Amino acid sequence: MKLILSTAAALALMTGAAFAASHAQTVRMGTEGAYPPYNFIDDSGEVAGFERELGDELCARAELTCEWVTNDWDSIIPNLVSGNYDTIIAGMSITDEREEVIDFTQNYYPPTASAYVAASDSVDVMSGVVAAQTATIQAGHVAESGATLVEYATPEETVAAVRNGEADAVFADYDYLKPIVDASGGELTFVGDEVPLGGGIGLGLRESDTELKDKFDAAITSMKEDGTLNTMLKKWFGEETQTY
Amino acid sequence: MLSCTDPQSLEGLSWLACYLTTGKHMAFYTSFGTVLILIAVTAPVSLAFGFFGAMAARGPVPVRWLGQGYIAIVRGVPDIVFFLFFVIALDQAFEYARHKVLCPDWDQPVRQGNDFIVCAAAKLPLGTAPQWLHEVYGFALAVITFAIVFGAFAANVLYGAMRAVPRAQMETAEAYGMSPRQTFWRILVPQMWVYALPGLSNLWMVLIKATPLLFLLGIEDIVYWARDLGGTKTPQFTEYPHGDWRMWYFLALLVFYLALTRVSEIVLGRLMQRLTLGQATSGGEAQRKVAA
């Protein structure tokens, strides 16, 4: 009996605490954690990268408590609309197809240049086999370009496909490929021209979450105005990156 | 004592020692525990699902349809469909039920276009809950989903095993005046396990290997971490840059899974010996002859 009473008391306390805390709603930030420098898991196992730093700053400006969660890229939109987290901040380009399902804030990264990387200069990216990550604008572009598209679940696998010869070239965001090409010691090179795709990168939100969208939009605007966003972009993507 | 503050200056074993003890590796090691706990919890739960499924499939007509329908539908639907869509549907069903009870005054529709909106108090877990609670909830959803899928297969195995118990045993029990209930629990159930075990041990092995589906449910399992840790690491983003090491990580997983299945085989073999004892099967007969 004593046990039951104390359990009941503990439960009552917990619900009380939950109600008291409900004023400070936690915003759960969903990311992939596999796309450096945008987002990745650092050595200590935490979400890190440009979007981590940006997201924390946006939350501070919008006076929100934020928490980071990782989710597989394939199911990142279904889990947002069913409410498992509140934002997608995962290097997601703003496209018309996605706009039909979710809402985006204004972009916090200018329209991205995508690029081809191959093991040799002689590869023809318009007719060869090109690797891209599933359900990305790059995959859509390759499918329309006339090249043979091979899709992979993670960005890592698309690059590995070029290294082991499964694909002639990989097509992805320039900023993702740049550090990999730099570190490859001449094994991988950029081929062909850069292709501008999409309407920049924004935070993805549920269409009904207009209040949260306004808060993030205001925070992004204030970061654009005082130049902190540009500083952050230069820090993560190098001096010659596009800025606002 | 080893200092890991400046890994670039380290070489050989001391580098490796630092590399293998990063926070990320610790998360990797912890995920082995997650997988083992999932298997340990899911196995008995799906056995229970299977047992009730098999009992229902043998029952009177309306209940029988339920049991046989469960077995037929779940066995026929691909696992990946269950893990991609069923979990989200299950989560929404829970939240919808709570929404109806907790927020009766809510006037907006729950479905707005693509969005699924319930009142804040109905969210599971609450939006204010700490991260670990979200993880426990996700884990519980995983257990339920695994249990439903594997329960259907177990139900079919147990259904077959119940029918395999010699009819003469049941008739004898009836002749002694046992009620159907007593016959079921005292004669049928103790004897069916020996027929069920080969099928159940198959399921156990498949369950062990199905655990990588966990990441589809947002749980960071060993395959997720192996893929992430093994991936190429460029110097800008880590203290420990390396090439594509996925092969080595997956090799470690191979050893882990092989060890797990080997241990399972040994344990299941012993269990089979134990269950065969005194049974009216060829195995039981062989044991009796050796003892005599």
Residues A145-158 have pLDDT tens digits of: 889 999 998 888 99
Residue A67 bridge partners (DSSP):
A28
Query: What integer is the mean pLDDT of B201-214?
Result: 88
Question: Higher-confidence residue: B17 or B177?
Answer: B177
Task: Assess A210–B contact: CB distance below 8 Å, yes or no.
Answer: no
Task: Assess B106–A contact: CB distance below 8 Å, yes or no.
Answer: no
B115 membership: H or E segment, kind and range: strand B115-116
Tokens (6 digits) for B50: 């299977």
pTM of the model: 0.77
Going by CATH, does the domain composed of A24-110+200-237 fall within 3.40.50.720? no
Task: Assess B3–A contact: CB distance below 8 Å, yes or no.
Answer: no
Over the stretch B11-45, which tens digit does the pLDDT of each residue have?
778 888 888 888 889 989 999 998 999 899 999 99
CA distances from A58 to A80, A199, A219, A224, B243 (A): 19, 20, 6, 11, 34
B24 to A44: CB separation less than 8 angstroms, yes or no: yes
In terms of average pLDDT, the best of B74-88, B194-208, B215-229 is B194-208
The alpha carbon of residue A233 is apart from the nearest alpha carbon of chain B, in Å, by 15
What CATH number has the domain spanning B22-221?
Answer: 1.10.3720.10
pLDDT of residue B159 exceeding 90, the answer is yes
Task: Give me the pLDDT at residue B185, please.
Answer: 93
A49 to B237: CB separation less than 8 angstroms, yes or no: yes
The alpha carbon of residue B24 is apart from the nearest alpha carbon of chain A, in Å, by 4
Over the stretch A80-139, which tens digit does the pLDDT of each residue have?
988 888 999 999 999 888 999 999 999 999 887 899 999 988 888 888 899 999 989 899
Nearest CA in chain B to A206: B115
A160 to B24: CB separation less than 8 angstroms, yes or no: no
Please indicate whether the domains covering A24-110+200-237 and A112-197 agree at the CATH topology level. yes
Task: Give me the pLDDT at residue A45, please.
Answer: 84
Where in chain A are the domains? 24-110+200-237, 112-197
Tokens (6 digits) for A134: 């599933």
pLDDT of residue B218 exceeding 80, the answer is no
pLDDT of residue A18 exceeding 70, the answer is no
Query: What integer is the mean pLDDT of B60-67?
Result: 92
Tokens (6 digits) for B49: 């699902």
> Per-residue confidence at A11, pLDDT binned at 50, 70, 90?
very low
**What integer best gives the mean pLDDT of chain B?**
87
Task: Give me the pLDDT at residue B2, please.
Answer: 58
Task: Assess A82–B contact: CB distance below 8 Å, yes or no.
Answer: yes
Which one of 2.40.30.10, 3.40.50.720, 3.40.190.10, 3.40.640.10 gives the CATH number of domain A112-197? 3.40.190.10
Query: Which residues of B are less than 8 Å from A45 in CB distance?
Result: 22-24, 26-27
Determine the distance from the C-alpha atom of residue A161 to the mean position of all C-alpha atoms in its chain, rounded to a whole number: 22
Task: Give me the pLDDT at residue A24, please.
Answer: 55
Q: Cα B117–B123–B125 angle (5° rounding)? A: 145
Where in chain B are the domains? 22-221
Interface test with B, best of A35, A82, A188 (most B CBs within 10 A): A82
Q: Cα B187–B188–B193 angle (5° rounding)? A: 115
The alpha carbon of residue A162 is apart from the nearest alpha carbon of chain B, in Å, by 12
**What integer best gives the mean pLDDT of chain A?**
85
B218 to A25: CB separation less than 8 angstroms, yes or no: no
Of B65, B33, B129, the closest CA to residue A85 belongs to: B129
Nearest CA in chain B to A20: B128
Which amino acid type is present at position B59?
G
Task: Give me the pLDDT at residue A217, please.
Answer: 94
Task: Give me the pLDDT at residue A208, please.
Answer: 87
Over the stretch B102-138, which tens digit does the pLDDT of each residue have?
888 777 777 777 778 888 778 777 777 777 888 888 8
Over the stretch B228-277, which tens digit does the pLDDT of each residue have?
888 888 877 888 888 888 899 999 999 999 999 999 999 999 999 988 88
A48 to B237: CB separation less than 8 angstroms, yes or no: yes
Q: Any idea what DSSP says for residue B237?
A: G
Task: Assess B111–A contact: CB distance below 8 Å, yes or no.
Answer: no
pLDDT of residue A22 exceeding 50, the answer is no
Nearest CA in chain A to B218: A71
Q: Cis ω on the peptide bond leading into residue B104 (within 30° of 0)?
A: no
